[in-house]
Amino acid sequence: MKRILAVGLGGMIGSLLRASIYMAVAEGLGLWLVNIAGSFLIGLAAVRLTRKSAELRLLISTGLLGSFTTFSAFSADWFHQLESSIWWGLVFAMTMTVACIAAAGAGLWTGRKGVPS
Question: Mind listing the pLDDT tens digit of every residue in the chain (117 residues)?
Answer: 999 999 999 999 999 999 999 999 988 899 999 999 999 999 999 999 999 999 999 999 999 999 999 888 899 999 988 999 999 999 999 999 999 999 999 999 999 996 665
**69 marked as part of a ligand binding site:** yes
Extents of the domains making up the chain: 2-112
Residue at 107: amino acid letter: G
pTM of the model: 0.89
Provide DSSP, 14-63: HHHHHHHHHHHS-TTHHHHHHHHHHHHHHHHHHHHTTTS-HHHHIIIIII
Is 28 known to sit in a ligand binding site?
Answer: no
